[in-house]
Amino acid sequence: LLEERFSCKADKAAPPRLILSWNAGHGQEHLGGCPDWNCKLVHDRKLLDKVDAVLIAFHDPAFRRRDDQYVIYFSQESPANSGYSAPYLDFFNMSLGFRHDTPAASPYGYTVKLAPKSQPQGEVSCR
């Protein structure tokens, strides 16, 4: 689906594109369903000058973005429900969220199977 929204082809022989998860809580395991894009998620903010994109989940990004860098606002809530007041109108240049018309939608209801170590073990009490 995501590949249908973009008209580019990832060069798998090139070094991976780096995406910095500034405060969004995403990790490399979240790219498991998208192996063809040749991306790598990192958390080290010292890599800010080297990353191709920065994923931000909430306010107060304390850095200047490069002109060639994507700064992506991530939210699964509408602005009316998130309390976001848009003080950074010229800062973000992409969004990832609940709307299906965003370049990369992440709507509620999208689920993935839990890894075996995360699956519940034993009996569950329903009192």
For 83-112, how does the pLDDT look when each residue is reduced to its tens digit (9 = 90+)?
666 566 678 887 777 676 666 666 665 545
Q: Answer yes or no: is pLDDT of 31 > 70.
A: no
56 within 8 A of 92, measured Cβ to Cβ? yes
Q: How confident is the model at residue 49 (pLDDT cuts 50, 70, 90)?
A: very high
Domain ranges of the chain: 2-118
Residue 56: band (very low, low, confident or very high) from pLDDT cuts 50, 70, 90: confident
Tell me what the pLDDT averaged over the chain comes to: 72
pTM: 0.67
- What secondary structure does DSSP assign to 68-90, as a single string? T-EEEEEESS-HHHH----S-TT
Please give the class, per CATH, of domain 2-118: alpha beta
What tokens appear for 34 in the block? 């998208």
